Amino acid sequence: MIIDKEPTPAGTADLVKLTIPELEQMAATVRCDIIEMITEAQAGHPGGSLSAAEILTALYFRLMRINPTDPHWNDRDRFILSKGHACPVWYAVLAERGYYDKSHLMTLRKLDSILQGHADMKKTPGVDMTVGSLGQGFSAGIGMALSGKLRQKDYHVWVVVGDGECQEGAIWEAAMSGAKWKLDNITVVVDKNRIQNDTFVDDVMPIDPLPDKWKAFGWNVMEIDGHNMTAVVEALEKAKTIKGIPTVIIAHTVKGKGVSYMEDVPAWHGKAPSPELAEQALNEITGGAQK
């Protein structure tokens, strides 16, 4: 899907508000990008990237006040992918949004590429926070939101965390801080795909009842189907209207969503498909019609 428009002048928001069908089409394109770049690299994390496709697509093509031609615009919304190993979905969305040419996607994890195994704010245009160590991105988001409050800025901070990541103590320290400072300018989305690394979250360290825990830490809580684009957009838009309290959206998702042999299979957390399996994946994502 191509968005044909003139570059937006620096210092202003590049407004893009795709319709729900257009967002769904873009999410499918992003999924194809993920498969293609990981296959080319023969390394990367497809499962958790595919599960977050709707969330990031909705944010960058409907919700966020950003400007790809001016990535460091002071009043832009901020985004942090705290589950940093899923950066292929972030790279794909940034490329489709116009932060850099799509040809860079085929350089994933290669020497001197701007797209490394975890996103680096010093290398990748559009990346607001270097990510990698789980639990740390959310803390940085809290700092950005507090800074915005203190400086009376109206930007919003969006953070995506994994459900396995919610086992980290740093997540709950950050959650306490968000409630203490009444940071209604930050929204956390939990990509609850139920799998971490090579097994299921419940087998490592159960985190449920997750909604009750976030409520106990003073957050407004919403739960959605993270693959229903209408529900995703409605929840994100509603989050911006909540005042006096931070919001968390628990998105129930499927790891490896869109690719039958990857869905709910822990082995596809961090493994690249063969060219033959990649072709099958692309056909399934596009309904048999290559993008």
Structure confidence at residue 2 (pLDDT): 53
Cα distances (Å, whole numbers) of residue 12 to 22, 45, 54:
24, 34, 26
Q: What is the pLDDT of residues 174-227, one digit of tens each?
A: 999 999 999 999 999 999 999 999 999 999 999 999 999 999 999 999 999 999
Residue 141 has pLDDT above 90, yes or no: yes
Q: Are 109 and 115 in contact (CB under 8 A)?
A: yes
Check pLDDT > 60 for residue 1: no
Q: In this predicted structure, what is the pLDDT of residue 130?
A: 95
Q: Which domains does the chain have, with CATH numbers?
A: 20-286 (3.40.50.970)
Q: How far apart are CA 145 and CA 49, in angstroms?
A: 25
Higher model confidence: residue 5 or residue 256? 256
Burial class (CB in 10 A: 0-12, 13-18, 19+), 191: buried
Give the pLDDT of residue 16.
Answer: 86
Residue-level pLDDT at 286: 95
CA angle at 24 for the pair 23 and 27, rounded to the nearest 5°:
85
Nearest to 121 by CA among 80, 154, 85, 158: 80
Mean pLDDT of 253-279: 98
Distances 265 to 60, 133, 203, 259 between C-alpha atoms, Å: 28, 23, 14, 11
Sign of CA dihedral 47, 48, 51, 52: negative
pLDDT of residue 291: 44
Percent of the chain past pLDDT 70, that is, above it, reads: 96
Q: Check residue 8 and give its pLDDT.
A: 73
Which tens digit of pLDDT belongs to each residue from 11-28?
777 878 999 999 999 999
Contact 82, 160 (CB under 8 A): yes
pLDDT range class, residue 7, cuts 50, 70, 90: low
The closest alpha carbon to 3, from 81, 83, 70, 68, belongs to 68
Higher pLDDT, 9 or 3: 9
Check: pTM over 0.85? Answer yes or no. Answer: yes
Which residues have CB under 8 Å from 263's CB, separation 6+? 254, 255, 256, 257
Edge to edge, the sheet with strand 78-81 lists 78-81, 157-162, 186-192, 247-252, 220-225
Q: How crowded is residue 178: how many other Cβ atoms within 10 Å of its Cβ?
A: 29
Mean pLDDT, the chain, rounded, equals: 95
